[in-house]
Amino acid sequence: MINTIRLGISTCPNDTFTFHALLNRLVDWRGLEFDVELLDIQQLNTLLFSGDFDVAKASFHAALLLTDSTVVLSSGSALGFGVGPLLLSAEPDAVLRDSDQLTLCPGEHTTAALLFRLFHARTTRIQHVVFSAIMPMLQHRQADFGVCIHEGRFTWQDEGLGLVEDLGTRWEQETKCPLPLGGIVASRSLPDETTAKVLAVIHDSLQFALADRNAALPTMRKYAQEFDDDVLMKHVDLYVNDWTLDLGDSGRAALHELSDRAISIGLVDNAAKRLEIFR
């Protein structure tokens, strides 16, 4: 029996909210020990490809490429309507035209980057940077466009940037599905009994946070790029929902749609395993 779980989660508020009780051992760890690392989502994606974690938050873009070695847990995901990344511009009313322009994306294997490729293939050059650098680089005119995630979704207007498109809204209009951004994946090498315990602890941790939302604020503040409590809670309101507790049928349908579209642009081989959900 594996007792110590190498767990990786992101520093974004929806994860620190969900995992607050686990991080502070406020719920039963069910005989497990957790060695937790909090990182930027692209760092988590990269380390998952290296096999550094037993369980970790992953962009669903990365999870699509890891189906041979991981399963998706039914709790802990970020899906929803009105939750998509924003395609912003350094100049108001800018239009994507050609490869002379530069678009910043928050990591090669983020779902935000996948959406940009799905909807704006072969329009501009792409550079991958840490998500927190995108808006400052746009403000300093170091790029033409940027795909913005996390707290910046709520603050971009204050930064004097332009909105080109809400990529999540476009996904919703074309698919009629909630947008699947990221989820918790577990290594297939873990015994099913261990994976089930991990899933139960995550579910308990989220229920603990939902029962007393403000109790998670100190943990959220510790890791957030944005320290305004109202913005942090807006983030939770947007990304923590019924699909976070359990993916359900509509969550599964959304992952199936994402798999199909990834195949359509050649990101995933047609013979590859689809995302498998452990419950």
Predicted local distance difference test score (pLDDT) of residue 263:
86
Distances in Å between the Cα of 30 and the Cα atoms of 34, 46, 196, 203, 262 are 11, 29, 10, 12, 37
Catalytic annotation, pick one of 109, 150, 203, 235? 150
Sign of the torsion angle spanned by Cα atoms 20, 23, 24, 30: positive
Q: Where in the chain is the domain with CATH 3.40.190.10?
A: 4-80+180-278, 86-175
150 is catalytic: yes
What per-residue confidence (pLDDT) applies to 265? 82
Q: How far is CA 132 from the centre of its chain?
A: 14
> What does the block give as tokens for 6?
């190498």
**DSSP per residue over 117-167, as a string?**
HHHSTTSSEEEE--HHHHHHHHHTTS-SEEEE-TTHHHHGGGGTPEEEEEH
- The reported pLDDT for the residue numbered 235 is 84
Which regions of the chain are under pLDDT 50?
Answer: none
Tokens at 69, concatenated:
């070695």
User: Scanning the structure block, which residue is given the tokens 């988590």?
Assistant: 44
**Amino acid letter for position 46:** T
> What ranges make up the beta strands (E) of the chain?
4-10, 33-39, 55-59, 70-73, 78-80, 86-89, 102-105, 125-128, 145-148, 162-166, 179-187, 277-278
In this predicted structure, what is the pLDDT of residue 151? Answer: 63
As assigned by CATH, the class of the 86-175 domain is alpha beta
CA angle 17, 19, 24 (to 5 degrees): 105
User: What's the CA gap between 117 and 111, in Å, rounded?
Assistant: 10
What pLDDT, in 10s, does the model give residues 246-266? 999 999 999 999 988 888 888
Fold exhibited by the domain 4-80+180-278: D-Maltodextrin-Binding Protein; domain 2 (3.40.190)
Burial of 99: CB neighbours in 10 Å, binned 0-12, 13-18, 19+? exposed
Confidence (pLDDT) at 279: 73
